[in-house]
Chain A
Amino acid sequence: MARKTMTLNLTDKEMAVLEVLCEKKDLSKTLLMRQALRLYQRVEERLEEGGKLFFENESTKEKSEIMML
């Protein structure tokens, strides 16, 4: 599968978050950003279909809506 390279400019704060997430999920920056892109695409697709993104508390079953970026 052909790959294309891009340069990503992040603020210090964004880079710090990225590094924390990479450490936490034991993923490289590239792999984590690719996962983020997949998630963004899926969220966008569901929003376009009229869906809403919720988190549900497993024990209380309480739902809270995520604010769309």
Chain B
Amino acid sequence: MSNLPDVSEIVLLQRETNELVPAELWDAITDKNLADWEHAWTPELLQRLLVLAKQGVAQKHWPQSFHWNWRDKAQSIKGLLDRQCFSVVCDDMTQAMMITDLSRRAQLESQKTDHLVYVDYVEAAPWNRSELSGVAPRYSMCGSVLINAAIQYSIMEGFKGRIGLHSLPQANGFYANHVGMTDLGLDADAHNLRYFEMTPEQAEEFIKKGG
């Protein structure tokens, strides 16, 4: 599917031991990542959905990405210059994936029509999602790592760290509170998902040394 990705050495927080463990940030979604999604993420996700179903949780409260098909999506953007993929790998397993889009423009008044990196898709592996199981994630910091990468990518492309995304409802708190993005409200053109955007100043604040 793709050439070898560039690999950046990072660490993730392993929650069981509360220790930082070595991991990698890849600038691609490769066959290996897609195989992990098919053979590890999907069965695990279905098992967790079974638990929710048995608990009588209504489907509208299920995680809304449960039917995402990463293979289809990766195939559909193959070769496109305005799309860039990322994956986080730890312990030889894909822990999270992201696809970004360079073709969109900012909507926030202070930066309207400026270029930004739009996060098309981002998802963590089922075992890293406490909402699915009610227990702590196996690894945390995947989301922060990917958003940091999106910001750095935005800077590399001359967009000064501006990023934008439509958050799934369960993740609104992450983008509003932890990442510190501006909430532009529900987007009627996007199934009423909440649209978040980051200014260069907010981006610098998020990625600065010392957190």
Among A28, A31, A38, A45, residue most surrounded by chain B Cβ atoms (within 10 Å):
A38
Interface string of A23-49 (1 = CB under 8 A from B): 001111001101101110110010000
A31 vs B80: C-alpha distance in the bound complex, in angstroms? 16
B115 vs chain A, min Cβ distance (A): 7
A32 vs chain B, min Cβ distance (A): 8
Please tell me which one of the listed residues A25, A27, A41 contacts residue B81 in the complex, with CB atoms under 8 A apart.
A41
The chain A residue sitting closest to B158, CB to CB, is A31
Q: A1-B27, A38-B103 are in contact. Are A28 and B80 (CB under 8 A)?
A: no
Asked if B158 and A38 sit within 8 Å, CB to CB, the answer is no
Neighbouring A residues of B103 by C-beta, 8 Å: 38-39, 42
Asked if B114 and A1 sit within 8 Å, CB to CB, the answer is no
A26 vs B113: C-alpha distance in the bound complex, in angstroms? 12
A32 vs B158: C-alpha distance in the bound complex, in angstroms? 9
B103 vs chain A, min Cβ distance (A): 6
Interface string of B145-187 (1 = CB under 8 A from A): 0000000000001101000000000000000000000000000
Neighbouring A residues of B114 by C-beta, 8 Å: 25
The chain B residue sitting closest to A31, CB to CB, is B158
Asked if B6 and A35 sit within 8 Å, CB to CB, the answer is no
Interface residues on chain B, number (Cβ under 8 Å) = 12
Neighbouring B residues of A26 by C-beta, 8 Å: 158, 160
Interface residues on chain A, number (Cβ under 8 Å) = 15
A26 vs B111: C-alpha distance in the bound complex, in angstroms? 12
Asked if A39 and B82 sit within 8 Å, CB to CB, the answer is yes
A-B interface, 3 closest residue pairs, ranked by CB to CB distance from nearest: A38-B82, A31-B158, A38-B81
Point out residues on A near B: beta carbons under 8 Å. 1, 25-28, 31-32, 34-35, 37-39, 41-42, 45
Extra pairs beyond A31-B158, A34-B157 (18, CB < 8 Å): A25-B114, A25-B115, A26-B158, A27-B115, A27-B158, A32-B158, A35-B102, A35-B115, A37-B81, A38-B80, A38-B81, A38-B102, A39-B82, A41-B80, A41-B81, A41-B82, A42-B82, A42-B103
- 24 inter-chain pairs at a CB distance below 8 angstroms, sorted by A residue, are A1-B6, A25-B114, A25-B115, A26-B158, A26-B160, A27-B115, A28-B158, A31-B157, A32-B158, A35-B102, A35-B115, A35-B157, A38-B80, A38-B82, A38-B102, A38-B103, A39-B82, A39-B103, A41-B80, A41-B82, A42-B80, A42-B82, A42-B103, A45-B80
